[in-house]
Amino acid sequence: MTTKLPVLDVPIVLAPLGGVGTPELAAAVSNAGGLGFLPCAYSTPAQITEQIAAVRRLTDRPFGVNLFVETQWDEPGDRVRRAHERLRRYRNELGIPHAAEPPLPPRHYRQQVEAVLAARPAVFSFTFGILEADVLERARAAGIATLGTATTVDEALALERAGVDAICAQGAEAGAHRGTFLAPVADSLIGTLALVPQIVDAVQVPVVAAGGIGDGRGVAAVLALGAMWAQLGTAFLLADESGISPAYRHVLAGDPVRRTTLTTAFSGRAARGIRNRFIEEMSNPDDLAPYPYQNALTRDVRTAAAQQNRSEFLSLWAGQAAALAKAEPAATIVARLMREAREAAQRSVRAAGLPVGTI
């Protein structure tokens, strides 16, 4: 038995934007008739509770909450120390202290899950794997719909077998982390146009399409491929309500936005962002600790870089359609996406030789 997904006025989902998303952004998209998402992977359990309450103060419409499923925890001591040492030069350049002991990632995954379940959002989405069976069961019992991320048909089938209510098909164009959890990332880089219809054909549950949907033309395209909703991340990065740093905003609005690449330099997990000096210089895997250690190690560098306006050391996550993002209020973005989607659909109908009144 599946839990009902919320009914939306428009088939637009704000992707959970870790490090960038805000309660204001989530609420604005929900208030505009789409599904807002609160990214909670980097939040403490107490922050999750507070931020969900903040969204509820701004909207009474459904919204979702997102976590990273916990992955490996064997502490690779030497590699962490070596990777920590490798960052000394950037800390020196930024004028921040280099701690004697490497900073370690927080171990609060189960408490994060408890905070999400207790808050009962309409949707609980996740990436990097599959929520534990007992968590999926408790979400079902609480009436929370679950949405798992797949980058291949095999991952979608595994999610469906586990009993999720919907699947987010994340194409290779997508900004930030790859959700890949079965095959190596290099073998799981399937474009949205190829991935979505294959997952739609393979599973019974609804499919949400993500990756490289830059405007309403992309929305119309993924709906035509059989997706129920279009999930956009990068298209909302420049929204007025986004928590993006000024340095990140500046790069997104400029020319380098056209050069995205996959990198493991910031977190130890493959993610798509705008190429910069940190990515270029940290391309040797021997310099990096595995996820989530590398993420904890680079946190002070990224925070200082944002404070000092140094985009060369920032994780500038963005998808391949980043140049299409516009600086507008989130509600305007949602309305524009729908207008563009309708126009695109009408063009398709005309191109297929059908009368436009057909849609």
Q: Reply yes or no: is the peptide bond before residue 292 cis, omega within 30 of 0.
A: yes
Q: Which is nearer to ligand FMN, 36 or 212 (CB)?
A: 212
- Of these, 36, 64, 197, 233, which contacts ligand FMN (CB under 6 A)? 233
- Please report which helix (H) or strand (E) contains residue 335, including its range: helix 330-351
Our finding on whether 317 is near ligand FMN (CB under 6 A) is: yes
The answer to the question of residue 230 lying near ligand FMN (CB under 6 A) is no
Size of interface with ligand FMN, in residues (CB under 6 A): 28
The DSSP 8-state label assigned to residue 15 in this structure reads: P
Q: Tell me if 247 contacts ligand FMN by CB under 6 A.
A: no
Beta carbons within 10 angstroms of residue 351's beta carbon: 8
Residue selected from 34, 148, 163, 212 as contacting ligand FMN according to rule CB under 6 A: 212
C-alpha–C-alpha distance, residues 57 and 257, integer Å:
35
Residue 55, C-beta contacts closer than 8 angstroms, at least 6 positions apart? 23, 26, 27, 30, 36, 38, 63
Instruction: Report 138-197 residues binding ligand FMN (CB under 6 A).
Output: 149, 170, 173-176
Q: Order of strands across the sheet with 271-274?
A: 176-177, 271-274, 260-263
Q: Of 29-88, which residues contact ligand FMN (CB under 6 A)?
A: 39, 41, 66
In whole angstroms, give the CA distance from residue 324 to residue 220.
Answer: 15
Q: Kindly indicate which of the ranges 17-25, 54-62, 75-83, 105-113 contains the residues binding ligand FMN, using the contact rule CB under 6 A.
A: 17-25
Residue ranges binding ligand FMN (CB under 6 A): 15-18, 20, 39, 41, 66, 127, 149, 170, 173-176, 210-213, 231-235, 317-319, 321
